[in-house]
Chain A
Amino acid sequence: MLFDGDFLKKLEYLSLISRRVFRGSILAQRRTKQMGGGIEFADHREYAPGDDFRHLDWNVYARHGDLLLKRFQEEEDLHVYFLIDCSRSMGFGNPPKFDLARQVTAALAYIALSNLDRIGIIAYSQEIIADFPLTRGKDRILSLLRFLEKLEPQGTDTNLGRIVNSFVLRPQRRGLAVVISDLFDPNGYERGLDLLRHRTYEPHLVQIHDPAEARPQMLGEIELVDAETDSVRKVTITERALREYRKVFDSFQAGVAGYGKKYGLGCTQTTNEVDFEDLILRMMRTAGAVS
């Protein structure tokens, strides 16, 4: 069972030590610039005809005779969207990358819910295959876990760009978009992330790969079967080819890291052998939320 009692205990533990994580640097502090009916005083401005008298600062007027209007910063809920890759390539590895992806999603979502943020989960492969609507409150965690538990790797052609295209067209508030995937997208992961950025979402990447993907050991005449497309490729794998493969893979990983760095995005790269708890703690330490 992916999400058992121990897992919930760990979630609680993580939520306790991760106060304000989503408002910290890891997910960028997203306090709205909109002035409005909040409770936190921001500044004064001169009264203009038509302003609401209820916001006049009578104390200032009594002392100085100036009509000044009190301004308050309006606080909004932070919306966190989790885009979890459910393609069949995520089912690869031992343990499957998809397990870690779901655990990380659950952990981050629980922390967000603990901070009274709103979260939504979009499971996708070649299209959006499941949607957990925006929700708020820790009491939703169980239904969230059930949602994640039901997810399975599926689909034949991952295309993050197409998914994001349909995602951003939704009538919803902007927020944090956490993409949890191996990013093995034949069409390129950049287009989808670019689209998120352009639509003023704040993308954060959690990239998971299997060590066997990074350092394959097979040699000889082999038929490679693509886990997503089921396409077969007959190859003769030599030591030299392995070396070339490692170079290509390392270059891909470096490209992902470089993309995040270039656009100031949060980027976490990990293998599926890492425990989700350690991974979350590592992300928190990177963000400075825990020491």
Chain B
Amino acid sequence: MFFESPGSLLWLLLGVPIVIFYILKIRLRRLPVSTVMFWTQVLEEQNPRSIWQRLRHLVSLLLQLAMLALLAFAVADPYFFWEARSARRIVIVVDNSASMNATDVKPTRLAEAKRQAEQWIAGMRHRDEFALVAAGIQPQVIVGFTSRQKTVSSAVQSLTTTDGPSQVADAVALARRLLGERQDGKQQEVVVFSDGRFSGVEELSSVLAPPSGGHEPPGTTDTLATSPTTNSTAQAPVKLQIIGTRAANLGITQFQVRRSLVDPLGYEILAEVTNASDQPVECRFEVDLNDEPIDVVPLKLDAGGKWSQVFEKTSASGGRLLATLKHDDALAADNTASAVLPRREIQPVLLVTSGNLFLQKVFEVNPLVKLTVVAEAPATVPAGTVVVYHRVAPEKLPAGQVFVIDPANATDLFAIGEQIANPIVTKQDKDSPLMSHVRMDNVLMPEARALTPILPEQTLILAEAVTKEPLFFAVNRPEGRVLVLTVNLDKGDLPLRTAFPITVANALHWFAGNKQDLRESLAAGSLATISSSDFARPAKSASLLLKSPAGELKPLPAIERMTIGPLDHCGVWSIIEDPGLADSGKATAPKISDKTQADESPLLEIACNLANATESDIRPPEELLANTVTTSPVLAGLGSRPVWFWLLLTGLVLTTLEWVMYQRRVIS
């Protein structure tokens, strides 16, 4: 037997004072009484027990010395050699990805995984160390190595579901790194509780050896398929506990919406449904916009089939799109999907021109434009109005959004020169949103003038001629954005090209902020990078909150650009202002307000869907299920308790015995 803390055996010296006190105890307390004749009479009746009465003090002393010895040995933490040799260090990896929410195993796969993990933890022996790693979205060490069974058990129970993708392979790598940090001769093991639906399962399976037998008695359960495998490589062996059945599931694996590139009011929905089952399935696919049905599609999918369709709809108001699969299956998270359709705002445009049909019509055909055509520029322009100057532009351009086309005179933002000899667009900025879906290469810009931007640092050249003269450029001045296009629309073919209306539409979007075309629906578990320019309106408060689909609020940092997430649950996430601070406008520390008070219109909405074919396919791999053998955790038995526990227990028994003796001797 060895001792973890042999120095604690010095506590045995406390036996000396105990013996001394015992000896001193012989000199009993003296108490004078008027007569002992009554006591003599009383005690004469107890004479038959006198032998025991003489011995019981010695027995009591021996008991006390035994208790001290037990306590001292317990504090010294003794252990046997076989204990040290059989000590284990196990990392439990629990997959809490979306597919683990499947209900083919009641109540859910995750609950079953927790239950099985608890069984392993219950088998925890003294000197064993367990750690817990969650394998959903991002591998995360929930609790590091500890010998405290209750800590690991509580950590397992604290695991929550997510709708994110599984990261079991990364979690196993993390677990192995954890194990690699400690090399002290303990048996090391990684036990994974998963449904096997994760990327890299093949690689993980390939390094797993067949069951080693040993202390793993085979057994089966009704609903569980388990494949015990052991890695015999230099790395820690991995046991994979497969949880789940090959249950059928039908899921929406793609759901996106964007504004139409050609129809200002139109939008396009991309939907994809995957049948992750071995049987053909019939169901109904419904799409609602703000709770109003806009389309219903009956679906008939073959086994393992996939259906995909683009819906073209129109709506200026925008809102929340919700796709629903009318089908009962084991995984509910992928039976619905959301998307956010940006709202289209009517844009007032003031066209100052002496007359140009192309230019007038390109604005008129845009249903989102409220066009006003004037021959001379008014003294004042309503705020938010896009002013388009054709040919004649004031020397000092007004504040606000200004589009100058074919300028004939210089302004405060550019100087004007001679006509360009060869005004063909040879280079364009393909990255600018102003040039998206626009190809101006080799477009002739007749009578284009050589323009020289006066504020070059604020100027972005969008298209230039071969001689490097700018033909189309943007100026991002503080008082408003300005676009300048030098071309004679009457003489060139630009108005006849599709690039012209698209350029105008891009320009209007750019003037409007260019942020309302597409709000991509993110896959669960993604991170989203947002900035204040993405907000639908300026924030009144510096304190912002992230509202989950379930209504939980989290404070966001008060910075211009931030990354939020991972968005671990499906639904629509919102960024809202803290109603407690919005009124005062004080930029104090953000606080989480009551959920019911945070119902103002959100600054930004982000749709989050499962959108993961791997997670929607909840069928464990067949090759793993083929070798279905249940790995029973090693039962702890008496070994779950350290030696000091039994010593203390014995000490407690002896204490009870001594207490009983004391009661019999003195009290009772």
Chain A residues close to B by CB (< 8 Å): 89, 92-93, 97, 182, 184, 186, 210, 213, 216, 218-228, 231-241, 244-245, 248-249, 252
Contact = CB atoms under 8 A, between A and B. Distances in A.
Nearest first, the 7 closest Cβ-Cβ pairs linking A and B are A92-B34, A89-B34, A184-B35, A244-B42, A223-B28, A225-B32, A223-B30
Given A219-B667, A221-B29, A233-B40, A241 B34 contact: no
A236 B53 CA distance: 9
Given A236-B666, A244-B42, A248-B41, A225 B35 contact: no
Nearest to B38: A248
Interface centre among A220, A236, A239 (most CB of B within 10 A): A236
A220 B29 contact: yes
Interface string B643-668: 00000000000000000000011111
A227 B29 CA distance: 15
Contacts of A223: 28-31
7 contacts: A92-B33, A213-B33, A224-B32, A234-B28, A236-B666, A239-B668, A241-B46
Nearest to B56: A236
B41 A224 contact: no
A168 to B, nearest CB: 25
Q: In which size bucket is the chain B interface?
A: 20 to 34
Given A223-B29, A235-B43, A236-B666, 14 more contacts: A97-B34, A210-B34, A222-B30, A225-B31, A225-B32, A225-B33, A226-B36, A233-B43, A234-B28, A237-B666, A238-B667, A239-B668, A241-B43, A241-B46
Nearest to A93: B34
Interface in B130-170: none
B31 A218 contact: yes
A219 B668 CA distance: 10
Contact of B39 (A89, A186, A245): A245
B668 A238 contact: yes
A252 B38 contact: yes
Contact of B28 (A97, A182, A221, A226): A221
B583 to A, nearest CB: 74
Nearest to B45: A244
B45 A226 contact: no
A93 to B, nearest CB: 8
B37 interface: yes
B25 interface: yes
A239 B664 CA distance: 9
B385 to A, nearest CB: 102
Contacts of B36: 224, 226, 231, 233
Interface in B51-65: 53
A221 B40 CA distance: 15
Nearest to B42: A244
A69 B655 CA distance: 95
A213 B36 CA distance: 10
Contact of A228 (B35, B38, B53): B35
Nearest to A242: B42
A221 B43 CA distance: 13
Contact of A222 (B31, B41, B667): B31
B35 A248 contact: no
A218 B42 CA distance: 15
B51 to A, nearest CB: 13
Nearest to A247: B42
B357 to A, nearest CB: 119
Nearest to A214: B38
Contacts of B31: 218, 222-225
Contacts of B39: 224, 233, 235, 245
A87 to B, nearest CB: 9
Interface in B11-51: 25, 28-43, 45-46
A226 to B, nearest CB: 5
A249 B38 contact: yes
Contact of A239 (B29, B35, B43, B667): B667
A223 B665 CA distance: 15
Interface string B509-527: 0000000000000000000
B189 to A, nearest CB: 58
Nearest to A240: B668
B63 to A, nearest CB: 16
B665 A182 contact: no
A224 B37 contact: no
A213 B34 contact: yes
B666 A219 contact: yes
Nearest to B31: A222
A226 B38 contact: no
Interface string B474-505: 00000000000000000000000000000000
Nearest to B43: A235
Contacts of A238: 664-668
Given A233-B39, A236-B53, A184 B665 contact: no
A227 B666 contact: no
Contacts of B38: 245, 248-249, 252
Interface centre among B31, B36, B40 (most CB of A within 10 A): B36
Given A241-B42, A245-B39, A245-B42, A227 B667 contact: no
